[in-house]
Chains A and B, each alone.
Chain A
Amino acid sequence: MNLAGILVAASAAAMCGSVAFAAEIAPTDVKFEDYAVNASLTGVAGNAEEGAKVFADRKLGNCLACHENKAMPKQLFQGNVGPSLDGVADRWSPAQLRAIVSDSKKVFGPETVMPGFYSLEVGINVRKDLVGKTVLSAQQVEDVVAYLATLKE
């Protein structure tokens, strides 16, 4: 296959991908009720194992930049800008965790430092290639929520 062929195949695959996620809730349509988001963003159950990867990945969730998590002792340099996530599932329901991860400002108020990982209410002068894009995909948020739900003490 020549390069053009590969590109066509790749874009066809990408289109199939977007069809597969047609049930996905757009970032602007996420419904926050009583500091919770009750509906799954994708309708596909979150995968805790994948969520753990997204959680730790510095280019994705990078959650450890600001939060400690004793369940990941091999990860060095855990930050403390936000609260520790040890036992976070004892304190918050999955619907509340989904709200916090998607857009923490809807839960903690506009002054909170935490970025919204599935929100387009962002800062000014967003890097051009990221305009209109969220930090995490809807499924990645579901996966992270599934992982957080395992953090019980």
Chain B
Amino acid sequence: MKKISLAVAAVATMVSSSVVSAYADPVDDKLVIDGQEMITRAPAPEGHPFKEVLSGWLFREPETRELEADSFQNSGMLYVERGQEIWNTVEGSKGKSCASCHNDAAESMKGISAHYPKWDADAKRPINIELQIDKCRTQNMGAEAYKFDAPEQKALTTFIKYQSLGAPVKLDLKQGEMQSWWDRGKKEYYTRTGQLNLACASCHEASMGKHIRADHLSQGQANGFPTYRLKQADMVSLHNRLRGCIRDTRAEMPKPFSDELMALEVYVTWRGTGLSVETPAVRQ
């Protein structure tokens, strides 16, 4: 039933976008979730191509925005609930759950995700929440790493990021070699890929605010991931979305969590500095 009503909502969104507001600018609206106002506009950090960074929420249709603003309607909250169950479930040879060490996530994980990806001294590379979970599972729990985009990986990542809802994104580029990964990610952002010869910047910088078909091009921010996508009627991870964008340029897709995509995640996340973590955001 839920899926059907969401599909109807998605169709309604598509129809209204063509009729009502095909050329709408990012809206002037406030996103308040459970009484907490999200930062959807923030002054851009130094060295950023834009003056102001904008949440993708501002580019979506009213119906889609409303779904995110109401936690009872937001299907992403089901993944938060599932993630909480996983957080408290013992797994692996050492008989531990996440909670065995980290106790109540509402306290121990509060604000943490706003600062990921982080430098990992052991791996000598930046890691995101998914990789941090895998590190804990393999090293501390005696459990296996999740397969990419396993439902459990998406649910637990969503649950952990949700504990930072509202916290402004801020990476520490002084840790380890974060700066050189940022440099690499920036280079990738402006590198055209595939037969269609498009870079991230072609759509999300040069054409931001315009439409490709029914898609209102946002700044391509990462602050809402994992995000509930009406098009897929499912939770979508950041690396899934990055790969999808690259695939749409008719290029070979990089592997999830590869150096290539981790560098891009570092850079793209930085481009959203100051925006609230919105996980689980709702997008079209």
Contact flags B246-258 to A (C-beta < 8 A → 1, else 0):
1101111000000
Q: Is the CB of A65 within 8 A of B213?
A: yes
Q: Contact: B18 with A76, CB < 8 Å?
A: yes
Verify B214–A77 contact, CB threshold 8 A.
yes
A64, A116, A123, A126: residue with the most chain B Cβ atoms closer than 10 Å: A123
Interface residues of B in 234-277 (CB under 8 A from A): 246-247, 249-252
Interface size class of A (residues with CB under 8 A): 20 to 34
Chain B residues with CB under 8 A of A80: 23, 210-211
Complex contact B194–A81 (CB within 8 A):
no
Find out whether the CB atom of A123 lies under 8 angstroms from the CB atom of B211: no
Known A113-B198, A123-B191, A124-B193; contact A79-B210, beta-carbon cutoff 8 A: yes
Pick the contact of A115 from B18, B191, B196 — CB < 8 Å?
B196
Q: Which residue of B lies closest to A75 (CB)?
A: B213
Query: Is B195 within 8 A of A81, CB to CB?
Result: no
Q: Which residues of B contact A125 (CB under 8 A)?
A: 193-194, 246, 251-252
Q: Which of B34-69 contact A (CB under 8 A)?
A: none
The yes or no answer to B202 lying at the interface (CB within 8 A) is yes
By the criterion of a CB under 8 Å from any partner CB, how many residues of chain B are at the interface?
Answer: 29
B176-215 residues with Cβ-Cβ distance < 8 A to A are 191-199, 202-203, 206-207, 210-214
A3-B155 Cα distance, complex, nearest whole Å: 49
> How far is the CB of B227 from the nearest CB of chain A, in Å?
22
CB atoms of A113 and B206 under 8 A apart: yes
Contact A122 B210 (CB under 8 A): no
Q: Which of B193, B197, B213 contacts A64 (CB 8 A)?
A: B213
CA distance A122 to B191 in the complex (A): 11
With a cutoff of 8 Å between Cβ atoms, the chain A residues found around residue B196 in the complex are 115, 122-123, 135
Residues of chain A from 94 to 130 with CB closer than 8 A to chain B in the complex: 111, 113, 115-116, 121-128, 130
Contact A127/B213 with A80-B23, A115-B197, A122-B194 known, Cβ cut-off 8 Å: no
B: which residues have CB within 8 A of A?
A: 14, 17-18, 23, 191-199, 202-203, 206-207, 210-214, 217, 246-247, 249-252
The chain A residues found within 8 Å of chain B, CB to CB, are 64-66, 76-81, 111, 113, 115-116, 121-128, 130, 133, 135
Known pairs A65-B212, A77-B14, A77-B214 / 19 extra A-B pairs, C-beta < 8 Å: A77-B211, A80-B211, A81-B203, A81-B207, A81-B217, A111-B206, A113-B198, A113-B202, A115-B195, A122-B196, A123-B193, A123-B197, A123-B249, A125-B194, A125-B246, A127-B252, A130-B194, A130-B195, A135-B195
